[in-house]
Amino acid sequence: MSNGMAILNPQQPRTAAMAERMAEVKGRSLWADARARFLRNKAAMVSVGVLGAVFIFAFFGHLVTPYDNETIDWNVLGKVKELGKPSLANGHYFGYDDSGRDLFARVVQGTQVSLMVGVIGAAIAVIVGTIYGAVAGYIGGRVDSIMMRFVDIAMSVPYMFVLILLLVVFGRSIEMIFVGIGLTAWLDMSRIVRGQTLSIKNKEFIEAAVATGVPSFTIIRRHVVPNLLGVVVVYATLLVPQMILTESFISFLGLGVQEPLTSWGALISEGTSTMNYGTLWQLFFPLAFFVVTIFAFFFIGDGLRDALDPKDR
Amino acid sequence: MNVSTKSILLASALALASPALAAAPEGVALADDQTFTYRVLDEHSSVDPQIVEDVSGSEIVRDLFEGLYNQDADGNLVPGVALSHTVSDDKLTYTFTLRPEAKWSDGNPVTAHDFVYGWQRLADPETASPYQWYVEVMGLANAGSVMAGEAPLEELGVRAIDDHTLEVTLEKPMTYFPLTTTHASTFPSPKWVIDEHGADWIKPGNIVSNGAYVLTEHVPQERSVRERNPMYWDNENTVIEKVSALVINDENVALTRFLAGELDRTEVPAGQYPALKEEYPDTALSFPRLCNYYFNFNLSENGPEATQDVRVRKALSYAVNRDIIVENVLQGGQSPAYTFTPAATAGFEQPATDYSTWTQEERNAKAVELLAEAGYGPDNPLSLTYLYNTSEAHKKVAIAVSQMWKQTLGVDITLENQEWQTFLETRGNHDFEIARGAWCGDYNEASTFLDLVQSSSGYNDAAYSNAEVDALLAEAKSMDDPQANYTRVEEIIAEEMPIIPIYHYAGVFMMNPAIVDSWPVQNVEQNWYSKDLYKVAQ
Amino acid sequence: MLSFILRRVSIAIPTLLVLLIISFWLMQTAPGGPFNSERPLPPQVLANIEAKYGLDQPMWKQMVDYLKGIITQFDFGPSYKYKDRSVNDIIAQGFPVTLHYGLISFMLAIVIGGALGIAAAIRQNSWLDYFAVGITIGAQVLPNFVMAPILILVFTLWLGWLPGGGWNGGQWDHVIMPVIALSTSYMASIARLTRSSMLEVLRSNFIRTARAKGLPDRVIIWRHALKPTILPVVSYLGPAFVGMVTGSFIIDSIFSTGGVGYFYVNAAFNRDYAVMMGLTFLLGSMTILFNMVVDILYAWIDPKIRL
């Protein structure tokens, strides 16, 4: 988690600052401009390619190997150090894990879980945060100050411990991990969205909608939320790697997904425990996927932010 | 009571007669550095003899305090504070003669009153000791009513005749009673110190103890240090100067630190023993322990219907290739188990249950046959859930066994691991289909294991109930040679398979070669005393 | 300023209360209790123990008694698992340790991270810049539960330079690896943050004006650019602090430093209610206090913000 916090938050003040400025920019031209700028950003474009490859690996990786993620090769079990090395010849591209299972298949499946946790966790955080922030910002007044006070309070909670307690109390399941991780990450989102909403609220088109008697909720849904899209997208991109990192911490504690399912965090943690026993590939492959993917999300997030923030250019 | 206990008692009688021996045999060149540093997984629960409940705490308490008797390297009784004892004709009264020269670390003599105080304190409901029930295990007179707070503490069957004579009265005859006096909760307590400091009496600086060592430092979750007690009666023959227990949660980090020379002893992670043994032949060692590892079926009403069928239970048990578990998964010198009771148990002759004599192919064939007979197969696949608690080694066993069942029988196993407290709750409530179990003997006799399959046992998680087993075990308590009964019980277990024995433990350690010579590898309970250790010059 | 502090304190108290009540409730709802053991205790024995710790009382009564203990005597109660010491003892011994390596890590992260970020921004697109960016990105994504064992492997086993764990009263050689493992990712975050913030400031109009006036670079950077640059860094300090508190769990558990982080997580697993609550209180108030300091600092640097 410590890493997660570290990675997420440096973006936040800038994102917020950018959000304020974005509000000054007119809608239509922004998107076309942004697209062009993003396409020019080499690091971001490479990252899109890399990320695409990782997703393809996750969804189709199982097609290139005859092995699955749970079948033990009894001849290798117990002699992984000697017989379990990565090999193109026998089709165990990434070698074996410590229990004599094909590591390639396990990395494929772990990638699915980690990406799923990342994307769904971020989606939950974004949805909750956006609705909460938009409602608070749009309604304003007392409601706003109470809602935001609550966010202030919640921000001083050590989430990781709440998350551990949630997993302990409500039992462990992948759904609980999604919800737990998502629910502890929406606070920043709600603050940013609220700030944005406040500035959008005073725009003429909203005033016009109010004047013609459109209900508040419809205004939020039809006019406010779509105008928040830029910030939300940037922020979501940066949330995904944070979710993946949080999941890896949970796995390190042994609270992650159940065997034979696995995740990057679980694989890395297992690989770390055996790194001094001559089976370094068990750490290398999952860690490589993990690091590359998080890099890619960073660069894309940075690229999107720069693209959507015209003032930088 | 039974042969095994008798032989132990006989051996102890011999040991009792011989004078106290110096820790190091003559002619051994001792190393200059006589400190012993070892790794513990977690902080100890307490060093208060009447409060301690965990293994690492008991190890410390055995160094700090000394009870009536100690164990030698083979697990036999040797004199501690008590020099000897006599038994009355009705076998209800034990009179212990205490060592007059024994002293507390503050110089006060150790008297029979200190034992009386300690035992009463253990039984006192106000102490709220987690080992309070131990006074019942010892069979002390009036234990039950004192524990319940219905009788005054003075009624407990222990009193001081004079300063150096302790008289114990039992509820009913129990020949192995002297064996129970090596347990940490029976050690004496210094009343004057507890009265002065209250709950803080066990802190370094306050604590007064009568063992070979005194507690000098304790940093929670980091280390505890005990140093030689100059007041100890046998201090002259004690070799190790200082013992440190370092808390290291991660076994792999602990191994790294051992290899860097920071530790004299650490556990070997599952699966790493062969490689370490090859690289460090004098350092890696493995020896049998008095513990078993098994899977519980759930035979209670909550249990799945499939495993109520003995054929299914047998099929699942036969299909477990125990050799692979011990040789390829754990690889630490454990032994495959086909009986509940470990072979290392004193005086227990391991019966050859029928399936232990078959080859694995025969077992597999039989398993497939039985499962088909029970009506499960490709058309009607069996699926079950296996519950274990979070741990790297348990996970490895679970993965391997689930694959054996899948590949041999086509049984679909869902693995579920829970953290310890949740696991205990779930298993205790019989809310599982198959669950991991393990047990280490409280004393070195087969009944410490077999009592678990009694229908009334608190730890019978399988909810197994068989009147014949109960009768055999009850009868065994008063038999001179209960081996026949134990053999029969093991046979019944093999026939009805309420549990699947998997393997019997081994202690697998990396140990400084200097200390290996003096380590009591023969003591299957691993009751070790730092005062008996020494480091030889390398 | 004073009214700001008063206002913050006045919400801090109910916040802590709510936090305590929620954790207490979650703990009590969790399956299993502190006295579950491999062999279930006889009911009589369990009853004795529960009576001793007041766990036989209804939940609200336990909660009230607990709070009363804190408020009237500053007594956080006993540990159910580690029976030789009270929660106060655990805090007294563990908190200075956490604070010790935590503060060093924090300072190091700010100073080195900040310096690296500024240097990279000033020499944008130089080898120094690429080096700094490369290193910081790498450091940011390497989980510290991977980094810590690697450090031990390298510095303890291979090089034999540093002890592989323990605290030893905070002797310097025991502090180095925990500080590296804890601070690296924050150092990297702060470096990246400072770099991008500095770049933005350097492009802004007032710096262009300053340049146009012919002020030397040194003056421009130290006198004009620095203050706006560190604003986003300051607002990151709050989350970084919380992250470090959480990260201390890994540090304590791998380096056996004996800080409160490990006790906290372990208490949740052991259902050691009083330890859990005591540490929630401690860490919760630290976080609130720290966020308050950060807000004051922020207002002090940025005169546009009024408290």
Q: Which domains, ranges and CATH numbers included, belong to chain A?
A: 35-312 (1.10.3720.10)
Structural tokens at position B187: 């050690």
Look at residue A5 in the predicted model and tell me its pLDDT: 36
Q: What is the mean pLDDT of residues B136-153?
A: 89
Residue A30 pLDDT more than 70?
A: no
Cα–Cα distance, B506 to B114 (Å, whole number): 37
Residue B15 pLDDT more than 60?
A: no
Residue B4 pLDDT more than 70?
A: no
Look at residue C306 in the predicted model and tell me its pLDDT: 57
Contact A157 C235 (CB under 8 A): no
Look at residue C122 in the predicted model and tell me its pLDDT: 84
Contact C164 B253 (CB under 8 A): yes
Q: Which of A6-10, A212-216, B363-367 bottoms out in mean pLDDT, i.e. has the lowest?
A: A6-10
Cα–Cα distance, C167 to C173 (Å, whole number): 9
Cα–Cα distance, B185 to B48 (Å, whole number): 8
Residue B20 pLDDT more than 60?
A: no
Look at residue B174 in the predicted model and tell me its pLDDT: 79
Residue B2 pLDDT more than 60?
A: no
Residue B18 pLDDT more than 50?
A: no
Q: What is the mean pLDDT of residues A196-221?
A: 80
What is the DSSP code (8-state) at residue B266?
E
What is the DSSP code (8-state) at residue B53?
-
Using a CB–CB cutoff of 8 Å, tell me whether A292 touches chain C: no
Confidence of residue C305 (pLDDT cuts 50, 70, 90): low
Other residues' Cβ atoms within 10 Å of the Cβ of residue C307? 15
Work out how many CB contacts closer than 8 A connect B with C: 137
Structural tokens at position A18: 């950018």
Residue C157 pLDDT more than 70?
A: yes
Contacts of B393 (CB under 8 A, 6+ apart): B269, B270, B330
| A143 close to A82: Cβ distance less than 8 angstroms | no
Q: What is the mean pLDDT of residues A132-149?
A: 85
Contact B390 A254 (CB under 8 A): yes
Tracing tokens 């975050």 back to the chain, one arrives at C189
Pairing of strands B412-418, B242-247: unpaired
Look at residue B479 in the predicted model and tell me its pLDDT: 77
Look at residue A312 in the predicted model and tell me its pLDDT: 43
Neighbours of chain C (3+ CB pairs under 8 A): A, B
Confidence of residue A241 (pLDDT cuts 50, 70, 90): confident
Look at residue B320 in the predicted model and tell me its pLDDT: 94
Look at residue A188 in the predicted model and tell me its pLDDT: 81
Q: Residue B387's closest CA among B316, B436, B319?
A: B436
* Per-range mean pLDDT, top range of A20-24, A254-258, A271-275: A271-275
- The distance of Cα C63 from the centroid of its chain, to the nearest Å, equals 27
Tens-digit pLDDT profile for residues C275-285: 888 888 888 88
| C116 close to C136: Cβ distance less than 8 angstroms | yes
Look at residue A275 in the predicted model and tell me its pLDDT: 86
Look at residue A50 in the predicted model and tell me its pLDDT: 93
Structural tokens at position C14: 């109910």
SS3 C149: helix
Contact A157 C284 (CB under 8 A): yes
Q: Which of A5, A245, A312 sits opposite C143 (nearest CB)?
A: A245
Which residues on chain C are in Cβ contact (under 8 Å) with B51?
83-84
Contact C11 A152 (CB under 8 A): yes
Q: Residue C193's closest CA among A103, B229, A16, B168?
A: A16
Indicate the pTM of the whole model: 0.86
Tens-digit pLDDT profile for residues B508-523: 999 999 999 889 988 8
Confidence of residue C139 (pLDDT cuts 50, 70, 90): confident
Pairing of strands B434-440, B383-389: parallel
Which residues on chain A are in Cβ contact (under 8 Å) with C29?
169
- The distance of Cα B118 from the centroid of its chain, to the nearest Å, equals 22
Which residues on chain A are in Cβ contact (under 8 Å) with B390?
254-255
Cα–Cα distance, B326 to B330 (Å, whole number): 5
Mean pLDDT of chain B: 88
Which helix H or strand E contains A305, and what residues bound it?
helix A281-308
CA distance B84 to chain C (A): 32
SS3 B502: strand
Using a CB–CB cutoff of 8 Å, tell me whether B128 touches chain C: yes
Burial class (CB within 10 angstroms; exposed 0-12, middle 13-18, buried 19+) of B160: middle
Q: What is the mean pLDDT of residues A83-111?
A: 88
CA-based nearest residue in chain C for residue B461: C39
Contacts of B535 (CB under 8 A, 6+ apart): B30, B31, B33, B34, B36, B239, B240, B512, B514, B515, B518
Contact C137 A253 (CB under 8 A): no
Cα–Cα distance, B328 to C187 (Å, whole number): 44
Which residues on chain A are in Cβ contact (under 8 Å) with B396?
98-99
Residue B7 pLDDT more than 50?
A: no
Cα–Cα distance, A70 to A250 (Å, whole number): 22
Contact C30 A10 (CB under 8 A): no
For residues B38 and C303, which has the higher predicted lDDT (pLDDT)?
Answer: B38
Using a CB–CB cutoff of 8 Å, tell me whether B418 touches chain A: yes
Look at residue B154 in the predicted model and tell me its pLDDT: 92
Look at residue C307 in the predicted model and tell me its pLDDT: 54
Look at residue C304 in the predicted model and tell me its pLDDT: 66
Q: Which of C30, C182, C265 sits opposite A169 (nearest CB)?
A: C30
Contact A169 C26 (CB under 8 A): yes
Tens-digit pLDDT profile for residues A122-134: 888 888 988 898 8
Q: Which of A70, A254, A258 sits opposite B403 (nearest CB)?
A: A70
Q: Which of A5, A149, A249 sits opposite C240 (nearest CB)?
A: A5
Which residues on chain B are in Cβ contact (under 8 Å) with C49?
128, 130
Look at residue B467 in the predicted model and tell me its pLDDT: 92
Q: Which of C32, C42, C52 sits opposite B424 (nearest CB)?
A: C32
Using a CB–CB cutoff of 8 Å, tell me whether B93 touches chain A: no
Cα–Cα distance, A76 to B366 (Å, whole number): 26
Look at residue B214 in the predicted model and tell me its pLDDT: 95
Q: Which of A76-85, A220-229, B77-86, B419-428 bottoms out in mean pLDDT, i.e. has the lowest?
A: A220-229
Cα–Cα distance, C8 to C21 (Å, whole number): 20
Contact C31 B257 (CB under 8 A): no
Q: Which of B368-372, C168-172, C236-240 bottoms out in mean pLDDT, i.e. has the lowest?
A: C236-240
Q: What is the mean pLDDT of residues B380-408?
A: 91
Please report, for residues A94, A108, A118, C212, the alpha-carbon distance to residue A104 in angstroms, rounded to integers and kept in the order given.
5, 6, 21, 59
For residues B92 and A223, which has the higher predicted lDDT (pLDDT)?
Answer: B92
| B491 close to B501: Cβ distance less than 8 angstroms | no
The amino acid sitting at B529 is Y
Confidence of residue A18 (pLDDT cuts 50, 70, 90): low
Q: What are phi and psi of B529, to 5 degrees?
A: -125, 125
Residue A81 pLDDT more than 50?
A: yes
For residues B179 and A21, which has the higher predicted lDDT (pLDDT)?
Answer: B179
| B436 close to B389: Cβ distance less than 8 angstroms | yes
SS3 C55: coil
Q: What is the mean pLDDT of residues B217-236?
A: 91
Using a CB–CB cutoff of 8 Å, tell me whether C8 touches chain B: no
Tracing tokens 């189709």 back to the chain, one arrives at A60
Tens-digit pLDDT profile for residues B261-281: 999 999 999 889 999 999 999
Q: What is the mean pLDDT of residues B62-76?
A: 91
Look at residue A11 in the predicted model and tell me its pLDDT: 42
Tens-digit pLDDT profile for residues C172-203: 899 999 999 999 888 888 888 888 888 888 88
Look at residue A8 in the predicted model and tell me its pLDDT: 37
Which helix H or strand E contains B168, and what residues bound it?
strand B165-169
Look at residue B39 in the predicted model and tell me its pLDDT: 94
Tens-digit pLDDT profile for residues B429-456: 888 999 999 988 878 888 888 988 988 8
Tens-digit pLDDT profile for residues C66-113: 888 888 888 888 888 888 888 888 888 889 999 999 999 999 999 999
Q: Residue B441's closest CA among B328, B303, B347?
A: B347
Please report, for residues A68, A71, A88, B205, the alpha-carbon distance to residue A63 in angstroms, rounded to integers and kept in the order given.
10, 16, 16, 67
Contact B275 A278 (CB under 8 A): yes
Cα–Cα distance, B182 to B170 (Å, whole number): 17
Q: Which of C31, C44, C84 sits opposite B422 (nearest CB)?
A: C31
Domains of chain B: 5-13+32-246+512-532 (3.90.76.10), 288-507 (3.10.105.10)
Residue B196 pLDDT more than 90?
A: yes
Using a CB–CB cutoff of 8 Å, tell me whether C51 touches chain B: yes
Other residues' Cβ atoms within 10 Å of the Cβ of residue B93? 15
CA distance A115 to chain B (A): 22
A160-164: Cβ within 8 A, 24+ apart = A160/A1, A160/A184, A160/A246, A160/A249, A160/C246, A160/C249, A161/C23, A161/C246, A161/C264, A161/C265, A161/C268, A161/C280, A162/C26, A163/A246, A163/A250, A164/A250, A164/A253, A164/A255, A164/C265, A164/C268
Q: Which of A74, A168, A255 sits opposite B324 (nearest CB)?
A: A74
Mutate to test the interface with B, among C37, C84, C158 (most CBs of B within 10 A): C84
Structural tokens at position B531: 């005062």
Look at residue B159 in the predicted model and tell me its pLDDT: 92
Confidence of residue A99 (pLDDT cuts 50, 70, 90): confident
Q: Which of residues 396-435 of B touch C (CB under 8 A)?
A: 419-422, 424-426, 428
Cα–Cα distance, A97 to A81 (Å, whole number): 10
Q: Which of A71, A171, A278 sits opposite B403 (nearest CB)?
A: A71
Chain A positions with Cβ closer than 8 Å to B: 70-72, 74, 77-79, 81, 98-101, 168, 171-172, 254-255, 258-260, 272-274, 276-278
Residue A57 pLDDT more than 70?
A: yes
Look at residue C171 in the predicted model and tell me its pLDDT: 87
